[in-house]
Structure 1
Amino acid sequence: MGWAHAAVAMEEVLGLVRGFVDVLVLAGGRTSSGAAATWSSDEVKKAFRWAFFFEEVFKDLRESGHYEDSAGELDAALVQLTSSPEFPKGLAGMRSETLSKARVLVIRHFLKAKAMSVQNFGALLEAVVEMDIDGICASGVPNACQEYAESILVMNSSFTQTRNACDIRLPASSDEWYAEFMGHSRILVREFLEGLNSASCSCLAERGLGTLLNSVQKNVFDDASNKTCTPAILKTPQMIDEFLMWKQWRAKCLSYLLDERTIRILSGASLIFKAPKEQWMKVFEPLKSIEESCQNGLAETMELCFLGLISRQWNPLIEGFMSHTFCFIPISKQYTDLHQLLQGASPDKCQDRFLDLEEKYIIEYASKSLQSKPSTLWLLPPVLIAAAIPPRSTLFQIYLAQIDKQFHGAAPADRKCCCRGNGIDQHHNCDITERIRCLYTFHIQQPHLTVP
């Protein structure tokens, strides 16, 4: 049957959705130019009026019995509208169900604005209370304002006890009245509580991460100062020294992987690479342009790319690396095995087996960027590179060639450590051996932890 609203055409709804999106972007805290947005109470009320329109449309459709067919046709049109590259990706999931609860969407966007100013938050509260009071006064219900004030105290009590929003209970006799005239206040408090719970969980996660990181660091330094902690199987002084270096290397790798900065960049990378390739490439171009004066711009871009590559298997990677055990293998043997890994493999053959198109695009972009500036790899953490680059890929070859250069003709200005001599045996516990050890761990000992 299709769209069946008696008074509003579907084309009109779609046209208003575009304007509603602009309102939501502004509610999120930014103007179209990227500057911080400032709201007034009247502007907040305008946003709610947009929301009311959509809620009323879908309310009419439900009461007429035409909701399912109408929503299905509108959703098909919304899929096409939201798939446009210019449409905000954070709102790409907008559908009929979302619009039928448009006030919730508006409040969520107002509350999620980063670094919300006191002025903006005051405008939001003022608008919500004024709209509820207007509805109460128009209802003519006796003692309406008193009941409203008491209800605010009930919600405030729930807030101060940090109870879940769904636990808020209003007097049974007044439920229907509150639902009609206190909708804004209830939605605001519920969403505020849910945001508070999320922030509390995030804070606890960060504290737990810090505790784990401190434990890792403390453990390695305790072992370094107390050789009686080494396994009994290590018989020779050389093996004991190698074990202690391995502990320090492992702690250094985990320090990067568990660092709060790394986790934040990982989260950002996960969001960035959900966008179409053309969009995230445009984001990176300004960063890459910084390399005219230094390589930091390209290095930051590559760090984002590599973290984006390993984001899908982040938890297994951490668990696998935490369980990694010491095995005494001379660094020269590790270096030889890494070269043998490349023999008989065609470049990027493994990429044909990628199940994730997103990862394939990242690999292609990183390979192209690093072919002209391969030395940028020395600016990135060894554990990140080893975990992110696919085995037998062009990136793997570029990286191993950079390591080879240190043993075969690197100019003094290009040397990455202070070890004497060009042979690998002359390198001991330096940046070069650390990178070889990382590659060996991820590509020989635990290949299941790398990108497929």
Structure 2
Amino acid sequence: MGWAHPAVAMEEVLGLVRGFVDVLVLAGGRASSGTAATWSSDEVKKALRWALFFEEVFKGLRNSGQYEDSAREFDAALLELTSSPEFPKGLAGIRSETLSMARTLVMRHFLKAKTMSVGNFSALLEAAVQTDIDGICARGVCNACQEYADSILDMNLSCFTQTMNACDVGLSTSSDGLRAECTGHSRILVKEFLKTLNSGSCNCLAERGLGTILNSVKRNIFDDGSNEPCTPAILKTQMINEFLMWKQWRAKSLSYLLDERTIRILSGATLIFKAPKEQWMKVFEPLKSVAESSQSGLVEIMELCLLGLIARRWNPLIEGFVSHTFCFVPVSKQYGDLRQCLQGTSHGKFQHELLHSEEKDIFDYARHLLRSKPSILWLLPPVLAAAAMPPQSSLFQIYVAQIDKQFHEAVPADRKCSCRGDGIDQHRNCEITERIQCLYTLHIQQPHLTILE
């Protein structure tokens, strides 16, 4: 039968959704200029009135007994609206069920804003309290403030949830339920605030756990994963030195992968690259302008791109480094094996058959930048560059060529280490051997970590 609301046309509701989404974006903490948003209690009240309108519309549909058909038709039209490239991707999942709880959605956005300040929180609290007290006054209660205070003091969140659900489906409620309904904004705020506190506690625990692991890595206490004793009596002096350098290299690699800064950038890259390519390329434009005067902007772009390429493989990558065991292989043998990987490969076949569509866009963008400025790879962490290079790809070829130049073409001013001599055997504990070690580990010893099919 389709949309069956007796008083509001579906097109009218759809037309108001975009304005409501703009309200939610502002509630998320940023104005259209990109600066931190500040809110007054009146502005928050307007947002809550928007939300209450949508709740009332869908409550009316439930009362009509034709909610399912109406919601199905509305969601189909809403899907077309949210599929537009200009529609905010973070809210593309908004549907009739979401709008049936619109006030909760508004409160959630206000509370989760990264720019939440004392002033903004005060405005949110004031708006919720005033709206509820105004509602109590409308019922003709003489002492609205006392009624409000009594209701809040008697609040039980579990009962509140049941009461709100009963109101949503049009069931009768008790007098306690009516009292809860009149202080609904405050109750939603309290409930969502408690959820935010719980989430914050979990984040704090996660960060503490990550910090513990990171401190262990920095102290270099990871063992070699072997049950066999490694004593000076068994190992030659050269192998002992190689083993100690390997432990330092692995600890340094894990320090980057587990660092809180890296985790935050990884989260940002994951969010950025979920948008269409045209949108995330625009995000990089300001950084490109910085790159014209210095390399810092280009380094930031490349770090985001490379983290975007390995985001899907992040957990296996960490596990692989933690479980990686020492195996003595001369650096000349490592580099020879890496160069062998480039023989007889088809880069085009790899790009189109093994990468996800999102990763193809990132790969093409990074390849274009590196072809014009390949030296930028030396400013990125060795473990990141190695992990993000798809095996047998053009990025891998560019990277190996950069290392190869260090042995044959680099003038003293362009050398990346102070080792004497041009031969690879002359290099030991330096940046060049560290990058070779990362590539060898991920592309020869543990190739399953460089690609997920």
How far off is 1:169 after superposition? 8.9
Q: What does residue 406 of structure 2 align with? A: 406
Q: What does residue 181 of structure 1 align with? A: 182
Stretch moving more, 414-423 or 131-140? 131-140
Give the Cα–Cα distance (whole angstroms) in 1 for the partners of residues 231 and 101 of structure 2.
61
Stretch moving more, 192-201 or 397-406? 192-201
Give the Cα–Cα distance (whole angstroms) in 1 for the partners of residues 85 and 438 of structure 2.
39
Give the Cα–Cα distance (whole angstroms) in 2 for the partners of residues 36 and 347 of structure 1.
45
In structure 2, the CA distance between the partners of 1:174 and 1:143, relative to structure 1 (3 Å rule), is farther
Q: Given residue 278 of structure 1, which amino acid in structure 2 is its aligned partner?
A: E
Q: What does residue 17 of structure 2 align with? A: 17
How far off is 1:345 after superposition? 0.9
Give the Cα–Cα distance (whole angstroms) in 1 for the partners of residues 96 and 161 of structure 2.
29
Give the Cα–Cα distance (whole angstroms) in 2 for the partners of residues 371 and 234 of structure 1.
47
Give the Cα–Cα distance (whole angstroms) in 2 for the partners of residues 345 and 77 of structure 1.
48
In structure 2, the CA distance between the partners of 1:409 and 1:149, relative to structure 1 (3 Å rule), is same
Give the Cα–Cα distance (whole angstroms) in 2 for the partners of residues 233 and 364 of structure 1.
51
Q: What does residue 337 of structure 1 align with? A: 337
How far off is 1:373 after superposition? 0.3
How far off is 1:222 after superposition? 11
Q: What does residue 315 of structure 1 align with? A: 315
Tell me the matched-pair count. 440
Q: Is 1:121 matched up with 2:121? A: yes
Give the Cα–Cα distance (whole angstroms) in 2 for the partners of residues 206 and 180 of structure 1.
38
The superposition leaves residues 325-363 of structure 1 with CA deviations (integer Å, 9 ceiling, x where unpaired) of 000010100000001111121124222223521111111
Check the 8 A contact 2:243/2:326 in 1, yes or no: yes
Check the 8 A contact 1:61/1:67 in 2, yes or no: yes
In structure 2, the CA distance between the partners of 1:231 and 1:73, relative to structure 1 (3 Å rule), is farther
Q: Given residue 398 of structure 2, which amino acid in structure 1 is its aligned partner?
A: I
Stretch moving more, 434-443 or 293-302? 293-302
Aligned-partner SS, 1:392:
coil
Aligned-partner SS, 2:220:
helix
The superposition leaves residues 144-173 of structure 1 with CA deviations (integer Å, 9 ceiling, x where unpaired) of 654532443456xx9xxxxxx658799996
Check the 8 A contact 1:71/1:96 in 2, yes or no: yes
Give the Cα–Cα distance (whole angstroms) in 2 for the partners of residues 46 and 197 of structure 1.
28
Q: What does residue 448 of structure 1 align with? A: 448
Give the Cα–Cα distance (whole angstroms) in 2 for the partners of residues 320 and 339 of structure 1.
23
Q: Is 1:259 matched up with 2:259? A: yes
The superposition leaves residues 16-54 of structure 1 with CA deviations (integer Å, 9 ceiling, x where unpaired) of 111111211222222222232222222211111111111
Aligned-partner SS, 2:419:
coil
5+ long unaligned stretches in structure 2: 164-172
Q: What does residue 138 of structure 1 align with? A: 138
Check the 8 A contact 1:290/1:296 in 2, yes or no: yes
Stretch moving more, 232-241 or 382-391? 232-241
Give the Cα–Cα distance (whole angstroms) in 2 for the partners of residues 154 and 298 of structure 1.
57
In structure 2, the CA distance between the partners of 1:169 and 1:51, relative to structure 1 (3 Å rule), is closer
Q: Considering only aligned residues, what root-mean-square deviation do their CA atoms show, in Å?
A: 2.4
The superposition leaves residues 265-324 of structure 1 with CA deviations (integer Å, 9 ceiling, x where unpaired) of 011111011111110011112212222222221111010011111111211111111000
Q: Given residue 215 of structure 2, which amino acid in structure 1 is its aligned partner?
A: N
Check the 8 A contact 1:291/1:298 in 2, yes or no: yes
Q: Given residue 184 of structure 1, which amino acid in structure 2 is its aligned partner?
A: H
Q: Given residue 217 of structure 1, which amino acid in structure 2 is its aligned partner?
A: K
Give the Cα–Cα distance (whole angstroms) in 2 for the partners of residues 352 and 263 of structure 1.
28
Give the Cα–Cα distance (whole angstroms) in 2 for the partners of residues 358 and 88 of structure 1.
18
Give the Cα–Cα distance (whole angstroms) in 2 for the partners of residues 327 and 55 of structure 1.
64
How far off is 1:97 after superposition? 0.8
Check the 8 A contact 1:54/1:99 in 2, yes or no: yes
Give the Cα–Cα distance (whole angstroms) in 2 for the partners of residues 352 and 120 of structure 1.
48
Q: Is 1:209 matched up with 2:210? A: yes
Q: Given residue 295 of structure 2, which amino acid in structure 1 is its aligned partner?
A: Q
Q: What does residue 420 of structure 2 align with? A: 420
Give the Cα–Cα distance (whole angstroms) in 2 for the partners of residues 233 and 195 of structure 1.
57
Check the 8 A contact 2:216/2:222 in 1, yes or no: no
Give the Cα–Cα distance (whole angstroms) in 2 for the partners of residues 448 and 413 of structure 1.
37
**Identity level (%):** 75
The superposition leaves residues 72-110 of structure 1 with CA deviations (integer Å, 9 ceiling, x where unpaired) of 111111111111121111111111111111101111111
Aligned-partner SS, 2:451:
coil
Check the 8 A contact 2:290/2:296 in 1, yes or no: yes
In structure 2, the CA distance between the partners of 1:415 and 1:17, relative to structure 1 (3 Å rule), is same
In structure 2, the CA distance between the partners of 1:126 and 1:343, relative to structure 1 (3 Å rule), is same
- Describe how 1:349-360 pairs up with structure 2 within 5 A: 349-354=349-354, 356-360=356-360
Q: Given residue 204 of structure 2, which amino acid in structure 1 is its aligned partner?
A: C
How far off is 1:141 after superposition? 5.9
Q: What does residue 161 of structure 1 align with? A: none
Q: What does residue 104 of structure 2 align with? A: 104
Q: Given residue 185 of structure 2, which amino acid in structure 1 is its aligned partner?
A: H
5+ long unaligned stretches in structure 1: 159-164, 224-228
Q: Given residue 438 of structure 2, which amino acid in structure 1 is its aligned partner?
A: C
How far off is 1:190 after superposition? 0.8
In structure 2, the CA distance between the partners of 1:372 and 1:90, relative to structure 1 (3 Å rule), is same
Aligned-partner SS, 1:219:
coil
In structure 2, the CA distance between the partners of 1:167 and 1:311, relative to structure 1 (3 Å rule), is farther
The superposition leaves residues 187-238 of structure 1 with CA deviations (integer Å, 9 ceiling, x where unpaired) of 1011111111111111111111111111122135999xxxxx8457852000
Check the 8 A contact 1:334/1:437 in 2, yes or no: yes
Q: What does residue 166 of structure 2 align with? A: none
Q: Given residue 416 of structure 1, which amino acid in structure 2 is its aligned partner?
A: K
How far off is 1:365 after superposition? 0.8
Check the 8 A contact 2:160/2:180 in 1, yes or no: no
In structure 2, the CA distance between the partners of 1:232 and 1:316, relative to structure 1 (3 Å rule), is farther
Q: Given residue 308 of structure 1, which amino acid in structure 2 is its aligned partner?
A: G
Q: What does residue 236 of structure 1 align with? A: 236
> How does the TM-score come out when normalised to structure 1?
0.92
Aligned-partner SS, 2:38:
coil
Q: What does residue 162 of structure 1 align with? A: none
Aligned-partner SS, 2:345:
coil
How far off is 1:136 after superposition? 2.1
Q: Given residue 64 of structure 1, which amino acid in structure 2 is its aligned partner?
A: S
Check the 8 A contact 1:104/1:187 in 2, yes or no: yes
Check the 8 A contact 1:389/1:451 in 2, yes or no: no
Give the Cα–Cα distance (whole angstroms) in 2 for the partners of residues 291 and 32 of structure 1.
25
- Describe how 1:29-428 pairs up with structure 2 within 5 A: 29-140=29-140, 145-153=145-153, 166=158, 174-220=175-221, 230=230, 234-354=234-354, 356-428=356-428
Give the Cα–Cα distance (whole angstroms) in 1 for the partners of residues 419 and 54 of structure 2.
70
